[in-house]
Amino acid sequence: MTMPLEQTINTEPLLTIMGIVAAAWAIIPRTRLLQISLNLSWIDWALTGFALLLANYLTFEPLLSSFNLYYSIGPWLPGLDSASATYLIFLAWLTYACLRSRFGRLPRSNTKKLKELVDRLIATRQYDELSLIIENQLDKIIQISDEIYAHNTIQNITNNNDLTNHLSLAHPNICLKLIKADPIMPTDFSSRFIESLINNTGSQLYLELKHNKQLEHPEMTNSKRLHINDNNTLIKELLSDPHLAINHYETDRTIWRTAIYAIENNKTLVNKLNTPSDYYEEKDEYNCPINTSIAMFNIMVHEAIHKGYQDHMNIWFFYYLIKSLLNHTKDGQKYDFWTRTPIRILVERIISITMDWIIEGSYVNDSVATNYRRSLIDSDPVIGNMRLANVPEELIQHRIDGISGNDPDNLFISKKATELLNKITKEIIDSKEMSDEWKELCLDQIISKHKNIFGFLRSNDKKTRGKEQQLADLMLVQIISGNYVTPEYRRQLLVYVEKLDTIDREPLHDRLCRAIEEDEARESSH
C-alpha cells in the first residue's frame, strides 16, 4: 500500500540530530565521556531511552497511523509539526544531559564501575585522566565510604605512593579532600602527602610559603605570627588548626621525620648546606626542604600558641634538627664571624624562632583561646556519644581534660619553648663540631634578642607586660638551671658569656655567676 505524498515519512530531522550527537560523541574527550557516564543513573538512561523513543514515535507518525498505532492528542499547534517537536525533544534532552554532567553526582549503583575504572587507570599510570574523573566525585565517594566499592576506591588511590607523589604536585586540591577521609579510613596518606610536598621543591607548598610573609598582628612589635591567607589552601588546611595537625594529619611528626631523614641520607643536600653562600637567604632557602620544614613548623606552633592549645606540638624537633645539622657540619671548627653557610643560617633561624615562640605567649587573646578549646570539646564525637550513653560525668570530664587540659594555661607552649631553648643552648655549648667563635655568635644572638624583646620593646599593656617579664625570667632560669644542666655546663657557659658585650650580657651573667657560686658551695660541702 502506497502512502499519499503528504504522508511520506521525513527522517531527515531525526537523522540530522543523531548525526550531531554522533559527531559530538566523537570529539568529546574520552575522559569527559567517562565522567558523564559515571554520573548517570538508571533514571537518566530511562529518560534518554524515552526521549529517543518519543522522537522516533513522532517521526514515524504516518506509518504508525496506517496501522492504527498512533495516538493523537489533537492537531499540532501553529508552526509546530513532528519535525520541530523532535527538535524540541532533542533540545530538552540535551539541556538535561548538560546539567546532569555538570552537577550530577555518582550514584551508588556506579561505584563498582568507578572502582574498576580507577584500578585500570592506576595500573596504566594514567594519573591525569584519573584526577579529572575523580575530582568531582570525591565528596560523594567519601560520603558513601561505607559502601564496599567506594571504600576500596579510596583505599586504592591513597595507598599508591607513585600516585600520591603525582597528585601532591599536579592536583594538591584532590589530596586536601582525600586527607579528610583519614578519620573514616585511617591510612598514612596524610603523612605521605605532606612528605611529598616537602621533598618536591616544585610543589604548591613552596610557593605558598614564599609569599606568606604578612604578619597577623603588625601593630604588635614583637609578635611574629603570620597571617594565613585563604588562598594558601595547603598552609591553612595542614597548619592552621593544631588539633587537626597533631591528631589527624600528623603534620608535626611528618615534618620532623622528613627533615631529619633528608639530612641523614641526602649527601647532595648536606654538601649544599655546608657550602658557603652569599645568596642562600635571598634565593636558595626557597628551594631547601630543611628551611621549608622549619617554616611549616613555625607557622603551626604559632597557631597553636594563639589558640591556647595544651600540647607541646613536638617542638623538640628543633633540638634534634640542630643536633642533626651540627653532626653533619663540615669544618665547623674553622667557622669565624664571616663564615656564612646554610647550616649556620639555619641554626640561627631555629634559635630565633624558638625565642619568638617564648615571647608569643604574651600576646594570646585569652577569649579566643578559650573559645577554640570549647569548640574542640563541642565537636568531639566521643564526648557526644558518652553523653548520649549516660556515661558518668567524671569519665566525661576526664575526656574533656584530655582535650583542653585540666587547668589550661595559655602560656603552655611558650613555657615549653624555654625548655627547648635550654636544650639548644646546652647542645651548642657541648658541641664538638662548632668553633668557639661560632658558639659565641649563637650566645650573642640569644642575649641580644632577649635584650630587644624583653628589655627595650616591652608592651604598654600591664597584663601583657607581666607575661613578657614572666617569660623573660623563665627563659634565663631554663638556660642556667634547666633540666640536664650540670655544674660543668654552667662553667663552660660562663666562659663564652664573659666574651660578650658587658651591658648586653648582664642579666644572664649575674644569674649565672650566682648559680656557679651555689655549685661551688655544694661541692665544697661534700
Over 50: is that where the pLDDT of 1 sits? Answer: no
pLDDT at 401: 85
Q: At what angle do helices 342-360 and 436-451 cross, to 10 degrees?
A: 30
Rounded to whole angstroms, how far apart are CA atoms 257 and 375?
A: 30
pLDDT over 70 (residue 76): no
Q: List beta partners, residue 226.
A: 215
| Cα dist from 480 to 126, 430, 476, 507, whole Å | 59, 14, 6, 11
The 10s digit of each residue's pLDDT in 165-207 is: 999 999 999 999 999 876 666 678 999 999 999 999 999 999 9
| pLDDT at residue 441 in the model | 94
Q: Copy the grid coordinates of residue 98.
A: 548538560
Give, as one character, the DSSP assignment of residue 201.
Answer: T
Q: What is the rounded average pLDDT of the residues 67-74?
A: 65
The half-sphere exposure of 86 on its side-chain side, counting CA atoms within 13 A, is 21
Q: Which of 48, 39, 241, 229 is nearest to 135 (CA)?
A: 39
pLDDT category of residue 222 using cuts at 50, 70 and 90: confident
DSSP code, position 526: -
- The confidence score (pLDDT) of residue 5 equals 42
pLDDT at 19 over 50: yes
Of the listed ranges 152-161, 175-184, 239-248, the one predicted with least confidence? 175-184
Give residue 149's pLDDT band: very low, low, confident or very high (50, 70, 90).
confident
Question: Which cell goes with 400?
Answer: 574533656
Cell representation of residue 4: 499519499
| Average pLDDT score over residue span 299-324 | 96
Q: What percent of the chain has pLDDT over 90?
A: 51
Read out DSSP for 252-278? HHHHHHHHHHHHHH-HHHHHHHTS--S
Paired with 215 in beta bridges are: 226
Averaged over 140-165, what is the pLDDT?
88
Q: Is 410 in a helix, a strand, or coil?
A: coil
Instruction: Report the chain's mean pLDDT, rounded to a whole number.
Output: 86
- Which pTM was predicted? 0.83
State how far the Cα of 361 lies from the Cα of 224, in Å rounded to an integer. Answer: 11
User: Which amino acid type is present at position 77?
Assistant: L
Q: Which of 36-45, 164-173, 298-307 has the lowest mean pLDDT?
A: 36-45
Rg (CA), the chain: 34
Neighbours of 253 (CB within 10 A): 15
pLDDT at 63: 67
